[in-house]
Amino acid sequence: MSGTDPEYTDIMYEVKDRIAHITLNRPEKLNALSNNLRAELIHAMKWAESEPEVGVIVLAGSGRAFSAGYDLTPSRAAGEDNQYVHPKSLLPDTGTTHPGPQEWARHVTMNNWFIWELSKPVIAKIHGYCLAGGTELASVCDFRILADGTQVGYPPVRAMTTMDMMWTPWHMPMAKAREFAYIGDSYSAEEMVNLGWANYSIPGEQLDEFVDKFASRMAFIDNDMLMYSKRAVNRQYEIMGIRTGLASGFDIQALSTYRPAAGEFGRRSTEEGLKAALEWRDGPFRDFRGAYESATQHRDRSLPGSSGNEGPSTYGSD
């Protein structure tokens, strides 16, 4: 980075040949989306948007995954001295501090809308895992190019809340949109291409080269032309109601936190630890954390009842 470029702790930023490369950089956490990481990401997007020598943005993840979703640990919180979050909410600044209970889904959806409105196209380069909030982040990018073997899914709908950003009806046929949003199973890169969510599935060792070539071809086009092309496509979806649809989705997500069993995941996470709660959530499905041998005790678990679980969940996000 040059001396005038911003410095980040949870992402990496580099510009080369009219392409800005932004990399989520919490590999030890599978790039879990903390408040600080998301705030740095939006700042870097704005920075890239303001640079005339940048035509295209590539968003990737370091380590073994693109992103395993929102950070569910106390490390999600940003410190008061963090320059990229709002000083009152300590969240990425979306134009509102989101006062009131159960505002998480509204906040993250509004946060993601910035990428939708960004004047420059964003390519999500995805490998390893793209789960929950990671799928929401990828879904507002203009293009999604996946490495073969990538797992895409939304397992929090099994026991936590509905999807924070209900993107599936806008990217999938109705039957599959329901399946993805109801069950949270893992889909392969190839399946996500066939469903229309991803543009390409590429062998892992060829992913970097393919994305660079894809981005470079787009970068031959002048910035203003790309801006107007992106805006023209976006407005069609807005006329069809995508903004209202996603807003109704985050309102229903808030309601889902008040169902009788909503507190069970949070209770287990507090009392037994996050890994144990994830194994309880995924155990019967035998995937994600449920594939671990330590999750066998939960594979035939009964559904949680309402006793002791009334009220909103303290973990109403995913």
Do the domain assignments include residue 182?
Answer: yes
The domain boundary residue, chosen from 180, 208, 240: 240
What pLDDT, on a 0 to 100 scale, did the predictor assign at position 311?
42
| Averaged pLDDT of the chain | 92
What pLDDT, on a 0 to 100 scale, did the predictor assign at position 73?
85
Where in the sequence is the domain holding 205, given as residue range(s)? 11-240
218 and 143 in one domain? yes
Do the domain assignments include residue 249?
Answer: no
67 and 110 in one domain? yes
Looking at 32-165, list the stretches that DSSP marks H as alpha helix, in order from N- to C-terminal side: 35-50, 104-117, 133-139
266 and 229 in one domain? no
Residue 118 has pLDDT above 80, yes or no: yes
286 and 178 in one domain? no
Give 196-221 pLDDT, tens digit per residue: 999 999 999 999 999 999 999 999 99
| CA dist list (Å): 77 to 36, 90, 111, 116, 309 | 7, 7, 16, 25, 25
Residue 228 has pLDDT above 80, yes or no: yes
Residue 227 has pLDDT above 90, yes or no: yes
Do the domain assignments include residue 3?
Answer: no
Lowest-confidence range among 45-49, 70-74, 245-249, 269-273?
Answer: 70-74
What pLDDT, on a 0 to 100 scale, did the predictor assign at position 313?
40
The domain boundary residue, chosen from 209, 240, 271: 240
Do the domain assignments include residue 4?
Answer: no
What pLDDT, on a 0 to 100 scale, did the predictor assign at position 304?
60
Do the domain assignments include residue 231?
Answer: yes
Angle, alpha carbons 60-278-162 (nearest 5°): 75
> Any idea what the CATH number is for the domain that residue 196 is in?
3.90.226.10
Q: Give the pLDDT band of residue 314 (cuts 50, 70, 90).
A: very low
What pLDDT, on a 0 to 100 scale, did the predictor assign at position 309?
43
Average pLDDT over residues 141-158: 98
- Between 309 and 106, residue with greater pLDDT: 106
For strands 56-61 and 19-24, give the pairing.
parallel
What pLDDT, on a 0 to 100 scale, did the predictor assign at position 318?
54
**Count of domains for the chain:** 2
Q: Which residues contact 228 (CB under 8 A, 6 or more apart)?
A: none
273 and 157 in one domain? no
Residue 312 has pLDDT above 50, yes or no: no
209 and 279 in one domain? no
Give percent of the chain above pLDDT 70: 93
Do the domain assignments include residue 1?
Answer: no
Do the domain assignments include residue 41?
Answer: yes
Give 255-298 pLDDT, tens digit per residue: 999 999 999 999 999 999 999 999 999 999 999 999 998 988 88
290 and 165 in one domain? no
Give 79-99 pLDDT, tens digit per residue: 667 889 998 888 999 989 998
Looking up tokens 């980075």 gives: 1
288 and 175 in one domain? no
What pLDDT, on a 0 to 100 scale, did the predictor assign at position 315?
34
Residue 172 has pLDDT above 90, yes or no: yes
Do the domain assignments include residue 267?
Answer: yes
Q: Residue 150, Cβ neighbours under 10 Å: how many?
A: 26
d(CA 268, CA 273): 7
The domain boundary residue, chosen from 205, 240, 275: 240
d(CA 33, CA 10): 9
Residue 124 has pLDDT above 50, yes or no: yes
Residue 316 has pLDDT above 60, yes or no: no
Q: Give the pLDDT band of residue 5 (cuts 50, 70, 90).
A: confident
Cβ-count burial of 9 within 10 angstroms (0-12 exposed, 13-18 middle, 19+ buried)? exposed
